[in-house]
Amino acid sequence: MSSTGSTTDLTAPAEQAPAGALATAAPAVPAPATEAANVPAPEASAPAGPTGVLSGRERIDALDAELIALIQRRVAVSGGIQAARIAEGGRRLDLRRETEVIGRYTRALGRPGTAVAMALLELGRGRV
């Protein structure tokens, strides 16, 4: 069985998120008009990033929403790969490929990466 048809291809060019896609920067808002053109609006001098627990949690919630959307896309791609592999007479699962994915996540995230990879693989198999 070939490792090119896989339930877990994270590197398909058409499915990759653009560079910096997980960044959640707010759109630039024009500064209100001031009497002196040289005086910046108060918002312009405020530091970027979370200023407390609530804004930090809002950023985490936004990142979680993006991760969920990416995982759903990954599951859809995995289903298409499985269907193609079966149509070509192959097996539904490619255990060698799954081992590669687990290794990649473990190297990148340490021991918890193994659990992340296993969860993603399970979702991709449609056995939740």
Instruction: Specify the pLDDT at position 49.
Output: 55
Q: Is residue 26 part of a domain?
A: no
Q: Flag whether pLDDT at 86 surpasses 80.
A: yes
CA-angle at 72, arms to 104 and 58, nearest 5°? 90
Q: Say what the pLDDT of residue 103 is.
A: 98
Q: Can you read off the two tokens belonging to residue 101?
A: 């994915």
Q: How confident is the model at residue 127 (pLDDT cuts 50, 70, 90)?
A: low
Confidence (pTM): 0.57
Is 34 part of any domain? Answer: no
Whether 105 is covered by a domain: the verdict is: yes
Structural domain includes residue 64: yes
What's the structural domain count of the chain?
1
What residues make up the domain containing 85? 50-128
Tell me the CATH number at 65. Answer: 1.20.59.10
> What is the Rg, in whole angstroms, of the alpha carbon atoms belonging to the chain?
21
- Greatest mean pLDDT among 9-18, 22-31, 99-108: 99-108
Residue 124 inside a domain? The answer is yes
Query: Please, what is the Cα angle at 125 between 83 and 114, to 5 degrees?
Result: 135
Q: Using alpha carbons, select from 63, 53, 121, 64 the residue that is nearest to residue 92.
A: 121
Please indicate, yes or no, if residue 21 is contained in any of the structural domains.
no
Hey, is 17 helix, strand or coil?
Answer: coil
Percent residues over pLDDT 70 in the chain: 59
Q: Per the domain annotation, does 92 fall within a domain?
A: yes
Instruction: Give the three-class secondary structure for 96.
Output: helix
Model confidence over 23-79: pLDDT tens digits?
444 444 444 444 444 444 544 444 555 578 888 999 999 999 999 999 999 999 999
- Residue 87 domain-assigned? yes
Alpha helices by DSSP H, 88-110: 95-109
